[in-house]
Amino acid sequence: MNPLTAALLASAALVASPALAQTASPVPGYAPPAPVVAEPAPPLAPFPTQAPKLIVAISVDQFSADLFAQYRNHFTGGMARLLTGAVFPSGYQSHAATETCPGHSTILTGYRPAHTGIIANNWVDQSVGRPDKIVYCSEDERVPGKSHTDYVVSDMHLKVPTLGERMKTADPRVRTVSVAGKDRAAVMMGGHKMDEIWWWDGKTYVSYAGRAVPPVVERTRKAVADLIAKPQAPLPLPGFCKPLDREITVGGQTLGTGRFQRAAGDLAAFRVSPASDAAVLAMAAGFVQDMKLGQGPQTDILSVGLSATDYIGHALGTQGTEMCIQMAELDRSLAGFFEVLDATGVDYEVMLTADHGAHDMTERQQIRAMPMESHVSLEADTKIMSAAVAKQLGLPDSPPVLMSAESDVYINRALPPATRAKVLAEAKRRYEAQPQVAAALTREEIAATPWPKTPPETWTLKERARASYDPERSGDLLVLLRSGVTTIEEPRPGYVETHGSPWDYDRRVPILFWRKGMTGFEQPLSVETVDIAPTLAATIGLPIPGVDGRCLDLDPGPADTCKK
């Protein structure tokens, strides 16, 4: 166990402290709405005796299949343990909108974003009278005075139940816990019926308004505050990282030198470091201990969202020494977490995957034999495109005729239908003429595309878009850039690399299952993240019919896990 993980586990997970009655910051006079979910199934018989007593579902944000392949031979800790289980190196977030919120919504629901309703991190509210309201996937936009960047966290936009919800419906004694470095990870993996749900808000760990702070959260808060109050020296460089030890200048900064050195009190630098993952794992371990998860009459479920890899990737890229150090620290922090779980004596099952992949920064790709990599041109900017379309059609562009959120482009609903049709046709023509644009698909084209039935790597762009399409939230036009073109117009400190494309470097992620005593195997053929929920459900004998995913047989012998 690395020293950082050991210190956090010792102070956050193992030391007792009195419970405090503090809550997350409430909005005066506001009561969160009741979630809208599918009708629950009737309670089922107790889970079978051979079922694991605790399911631990881990998402490593931006942990691409490429990163997994690059570092799998260097893992010696927690990741090495998972490699002895069932390994699916070509898992797919098969949809086009490869972002954090939609990706997390697939992992424990078994549904693609077209059914979860989480089409992107943000979308435009198309309701009458609100044509320009951007909605964040985990906000309640009905709260007065709030916006998609200053919001009250809510689960109201997730349209389907998670595995934890289904388990709790089958047996109310099931405990469900979700902790993460981002609110959208905690919410989308946890769902609507949570015993405990906590996330990092940029300053500390919070939950919904009105929740009492349990001792483990208070301990974690204190441990992290003490850690941040002290400066952090550069982390050591593992030997296998030395070939990557090259500086690069991008976005007005030189990367590859800091190695997570942090000044005292720097909250932002803590988030963009391996320490933030170690803290989330420490809190998760504390919940296992304090709540005695897995020691009750039924199977409990713990979801863990580790966000540091994503923050590090965006700020520093995927192919530098920083990401290499992160992979080593993640491996060691997971080892410490599993040691705590082992000590409980609980029969637990682990699943680890990612919400999406990523692509390294354009500048480093260009000097590594990929000169075709590029930043998106300003000509594709929605404001510029809107002004050009309005001018061509003789329309005023105030308010704009086009607006966008992520890759979805929306036409101003205040325009007459005939004018909207002209705007759509002209916008589609102009986008398709852009050399960096692979496709500009109308909502009618996407809606008319049959649901894909072949392996995800064979899907057309329309089929990938179909898996993300929700008629209530998707745009009038979906603009997809060509492979290797990043949506970052100009890199800047904290933002040199991103994801969100329909290409496999953003879609492919590893999917790993582990349980003590299982016979391990590797299946190189493609599977999907929507297969995770029905697979985990099968191990506890809980049928979840009607989902988009399929059960993966984790028993390499003649017995079929999915038919038990």
The CATH number of the domain holding residue 74 is: 3.40.720.10
User: Is 515 flagged in the annotation as binding?
Assistant: no
Q: Is there a binding annotation on residue 429?
A: no
Distance separating alpha carbons of residues 386 and 409, to the nearest angstrom: 10
Residue 292 phi/psi, 5-degree rounding, is: 55, 50
Q: Residue 17: pLDDT above 50?
A: no
The answer to whether residues 445 and 316 belong to one domain is no
Same domain, 93 and 219: yes
Query: Is the backbone of residue 73 left (phi > 0), alpha (psi -120 to 50) or beta?
Result: alpha
Q: Which residues participate in catalysis according to the annotation?
A: 100
- Check whether residue 237 and residue 301 sit in a common domain: yes
DSSP structural state of residue 494: T
In this structure, the answer to whether residues 59 and 183 fall within a common structural domain is yes
Boundary (domain end) residue, out of 128, 152, 176: 152
- 548 assigned to a ligand binding site: no
Say how many CA atoms lie within 13 Å of 525 toward its Cβ.
3
pLDDT higher than 70, residue 12: no
Banded model confidence at residue 3, pLDDT cuts 50, 70, 90 = low
Are 442 and 296 contained in the same domain? no
| DSSP per-residue codes, 263-289 | -TT-HHHHHTSHHHHHHHHHHHHHHHH
Domain check: are 353 and 219 in the same one?
Answer: yes
Taking a C-beta distance cutoff of 8 angstroms, is the pair 264, 188 a contact? no
Q: CA 208, CA 202: separation in Å to the nearest integer?
A: 15
**What are the pLDDT digits (tens) for 453-472?**
999 999 999 999 999 999 99
* Residue 121, annotated as binding a ligand: yes
- 531 lies in the same domain as 459: no
Contact in structure between 202 and 267 (CB atoms under 8 Å): yes
CATH label of the domain that carries residue 463? 3.30.1360.150
Q: Mean pLDDT, to the nearest integer, of 371-395?
A: 94
pLDDT (average), residues 408-429: 96
Query: Looking at the structure, do residues 365 and 401 belong to the same domain, yes or no?
Result: no
Shared domain check, 426 and 349: no
Look at residue 48 and tell me if it is in a domain: no
SS3 category, 196 = strand
In this structure, the answer to whether residues 452 and 511 fall within a common structural domain is: no
Count of domains for the chain = 3
pLDDT tens track for 274-328: 999 999 999 999 999 999 999 999 999 999 999 999 999 999 999 999 999 999 9
Identify the residue with better confidence: 2 or 378.
378
Q: Say whether both 74 and 216 belong to one domain.
A: yes
Domain hosting residue 364, numbered range: 54-113+158-322+344-369+500-540
Do 68 and 96 sit in the same domain of this protein? yes
Please check the confidence at residue 234 and state whether its pLDDT lies above 80: yes
